[in-house]
Amino acid sequence: MQLSRQSRLLLILVATAAGLAHAEVSAPHPGTRELRSAQGFDALTRRLERAVEANGMGLVAQASASRGAAARGVKIPGNAVLMVFRNDYAVRMLAASVPAGIEAPLRFHVTENADGSASLTWRTPSAVFAPYASPALDAMAGELDPIFERIAREATGN
């Protein structure tokens, strides 16, 4: 079956649009920050844990898709989420907005790059709490922004 030139162009347009519809968006939320590190995944994760503690924050929890996969015998690039907060901030957050409680703890995402290095991604606290339109939350997030930036820079060596 021969397609007309017009049909071929239409087919190319449809295929291109379908590909764009499935394109990955690396940072769909405002305030998303990413720093690449020369460190490997495990080293960056350890450095992040130390930077969290050194900056007076608490590591609330950690989840790793790659470690979970490895436990099942599946190898995927390093991928972990470290959840960070501190109780005095939690109390202030909830006093300002109970619905904002879903945002805590705040997260750092460590990912292994194809070249063996790793990257650190997070959303600034001010961006996370902005939708709640609370001056008290905005003030708290303003205090947390430089702490999270410092943690990220110390961990990545940037």
How far is Cα 141 from Cα 98, in angstroms, rounded to an integer?
15
Other Cβ atoms less than 10 A from the Cβ of 59: the count is 16
- CA dist., res. 71 & res. 50, Å (int): 25
Q: Which residue has the tokens 């430089």?
A: 146
Q: Say which CATH architecture domain 30-156 belongs to.
A: 2-Layer Sandwich (3.30)
Judged against a pLDDT cut of 50, whether residue 18 lies above it is answered with no
Q: If you count them, how many residues does the chain have?
A: 158
Q: What's the predicted TM-score (pTM) here?
A: 0.82
Phi, psi of 77 (to 5 degrees): -60, 150
Quote the CA–CA distance of 153 and 158 in Å, as a whole number: 5
Q: Assess contact for 76 and 66: CB atoms under 8 A.
A: yes
pLDDT band of residue 28 (cuts 50, 70, 90) is confident
- Measured from the Cβ of residue 120, the count of other Cβ atoms closer than 10 Å reads 26
pLDDT at 1: 52
Place of tokens 């957050």: 93
pLDDT recorded at residue 58: 98
Confidence of residue 26 (pLDDT cuts 50, 70, 90): low
